[in-house]
């Protein structure tokens, strides 16, 4: 099963590209579901049909779904939120303010992605197309379980045992209620859920496509998205350049636009190579309804097969060399000044600008010493010494990418 995610800046055509791709898949006889993580009901508008919270058939092999994020929110986050509310209540915070404080930013959207995992597991679909919210912020948030895994494996169970043993004393001493077992259960469940979502979305059958329009600001953001999505292990395999002016029959106004777009498209090709760049013309009307969307899909991909699994290496990989082991992390378009690397015990922390990924080292590397790191051809290469027989004592190692 193929999982295709479409993301990009606001208004560039994510929903249209996702819907057009899904329509094309269905026409090729693939059982297809397209769903949106966006709270706006734009898929219903795009297909011009009412859509329910379950898969709604809009054409042969083509199903559309609007995720009921509120229901998801209550099921997954409700108990944790309930506990936080009781703490804030004990601390004397006004209940309305408390309610606002306990709403995790982006939570609804993250939880909508749980639906993607469920649908991926259902075995019903050949192609699952996801219309993501702007800027891919949510996809970055999915790094949370990975970043917390050390805590969840080592500290959380002990903390849970401790709280269970000392709950009455702690509650009296702290003056706020200590979490009950079901709250710990909910935290564990949410952690595991999010980890599974990330596994589906970063798996070998999943690809992210960046949608952009040929405007400098939009392209700059798409470049940053490529770097950060790669940092978190997502496989970006193509770029949709949407709203390209056709050049035929040009008057002065159009000539100028065509020239400006063409200059930016050259920049897009140079930036994103070797990714596929699919160009989609500015159409004379809004592409809505199955027929228009199919035409949109055909003109966007031309002869290319957007459903083929893209060849490619895993975004994080190990390379053995004569003098040790290299850990290679793809970071296309990253610049050296923005990249930083630190080792903390069995993890390395890679920072690119304001984004950070905590990577648990594979077993084989845990006892190795970091010898150095450099950015090489769009990838961060971290050099480790040969595995040592004894654990390495001594202070934590702090390194900068060179
Ligand atoms: N190539 C195109 N030619 C003409 N109209 C287009 C084209 N692509 C998109 N549109 C229209 O532009 C509008 C915005 O497109 P769309 O809703 O797909 O963007 P979006 O990136 O999903 O926006 P949002 O960030 O609000 O979710 C829609 O009205 C859509 O029909
Ligand atoms: Mg949209």
Q: Where are the chain's structural domains? A: 1-307, 316-399
Taking 50 as the threshold, does the pLDDT of residue 160 lie above it?
A: yes
Q: Whose CA is nearest to atom 19 of ligand 1?
A: 13
What was the pLDDT predicted at 104? Answer: 66
pLDDT at 387 (0 to 100):
67
Q: What number is the average pLDDT over the span 35-45?
A: 84
- Report CA 95 to chain centroid distance, whole Å: 33
Q: pLDDT value at position 367?
A: 85
In tens, the pLDDT along 61-78 reads 999 998 877 777 777 777
Cα separation, 178 vs 34, whole angstroms: 42
Topology of the domain covering 316-399: Immunoglobulin-like (2.60.40)
Rounded CA-CA distance 3/357 in Å is 23
Of 40-49, 280-289, 390-399, give the lowest mean pLDDT range. 390-399
**Best mutation site among 8, 11, 13, 42 for ligand 1 pocket (most ligand atoms within 8 Å of CB):** 13
What would the CATH number be for the domain defined by 1-307? 3.40.50.300
Protein residue with least CA distance to atom 30, ligand 1: 286
pLDDT band at 338 (very low <50, low <70, confident <90, very high): very high
Strand order, beta sheet including 206-212: 56-59, 62-66, 32-36, 127-131, 2-8, 206-212, 236-244, 276-281
CB 157 within 8 A of CB 70: no
pLDDT at residue 400, rounded to an integer: 43
Say which ligand is closest to the CA of 135. Answer: 1
Instruction: Give 217 Cα–ligand 1 centroid separation in angstroms.
Output: 17
Record the pTM.
0.86
- Model pLDDT, residue 389: 59
What pLDDT shows up at residue 143? Answer: 75
Hey, do 1-307 and 316-399 end up sharing a CATH topology, with the first three levels equal? no
Separation CA 338–CA 330 (nearest Å): 15
In 3D space, the residue among 310, 312, 258, 301 whose CA is nearest the CA of residue 282 turns out to be: 258
The whole-number pLDDT of residue 156 equals 77
Confidence check: pLDDT of 40 > 80: no
Q: What pLDDT is attached to residue 277?
A: 96
Mutate to test the pocket of ligand 1, among 23, 257, 286 (most ligand atoms within 8 A of CB): 286
**Predicted confidence (pLDDT) at residue 396 exceeds the cutoff of 70:** no
Q: Whose CA is nearest to atom 2 of ligand 1?
A: 282
Position in ligand 1 atom list of the atom nearest CA 8: 21
Place of tokens 């998801």: 72
**342 beta partners:** 349, 398
């Amino acid at each position: 099963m193929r999982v295709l995610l479409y993301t990009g800046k606001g208004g560039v055509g994510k929903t249209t590209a996702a819907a057009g791709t899904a329509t094309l898949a269905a026409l090729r006889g693939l059982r297809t579901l397209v769903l949106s993580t966006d709270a706006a009901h734009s898929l219903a508008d795009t297909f011009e049909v009412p859509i329910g919270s379950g898969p709604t058939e809009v054409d042969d092999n083509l199903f559309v779904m609007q995720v009921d994020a509120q229901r998801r929110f209550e099921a997954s986050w409700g108990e944790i939120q309930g506990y936080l509310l009781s703490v804030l209540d004990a601390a004397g915070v006004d209940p309305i303010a408390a309610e606002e404080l306990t709403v995790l930013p982006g939570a609804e959207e993250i939880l909508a992605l749980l639906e993607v995992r469920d649908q991926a597991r259902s075995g019903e679909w050949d192609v699952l197309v996801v219309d993501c919210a702007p800027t891919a912020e949510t996809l970055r948030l999915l790094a949370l379980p990975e970043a917390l895994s050390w805590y969840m494996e080592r500290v959380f169970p002990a903390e849970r045992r401790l709280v269970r043993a000392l709950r009455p004393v702690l509650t009296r001493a702290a003056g706020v209620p200590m979490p009950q077992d079901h709250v710990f259960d909910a935290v564990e469940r949410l952690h595991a859920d999010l980890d599974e979502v990330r596994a589906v979305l970063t798996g070998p059958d999943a690809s992210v496509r960046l949608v952009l329009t040929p405007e400098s600001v939009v392209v700059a953001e798409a470049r940053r998205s490529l770097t950060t999505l790669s940092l978190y292990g997502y496989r970006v395999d193509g770029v949709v350049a949407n709203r390209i002016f056709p050049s035929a029959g040009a008057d002065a106004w159009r000539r100028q636009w065509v020239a400006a777009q063409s200059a930016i498209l050259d920049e897009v090709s140079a930036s994103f190579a070797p990714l596929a760049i699919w160009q989609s013309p500015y159409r004379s009307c809004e592409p809505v309804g199955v027929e228009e969307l199919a035409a949109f899909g055909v003109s966007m991909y031309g002869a290319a097969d957007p459903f083929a699994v893209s060849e490619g290496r895993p975004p994080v990989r190990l390379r053995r060399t004569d003098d040790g082991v290299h850990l290679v992390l793809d970071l296309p378009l990253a610049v050296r000044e923005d990249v930083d690397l630190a080792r903390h015990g069995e993890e390395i922390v890679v920072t690119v600008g304001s984004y950070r990924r905590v990577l648990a080292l594979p077993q084989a590397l845990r006892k190795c010493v970091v010898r150095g790191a450099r950015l090489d051809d769009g990838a961060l290469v971290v050099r480790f010494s040969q595995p040592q027989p004894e654990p390495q004592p001594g202070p934590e190692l702090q390194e900068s990418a060179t």
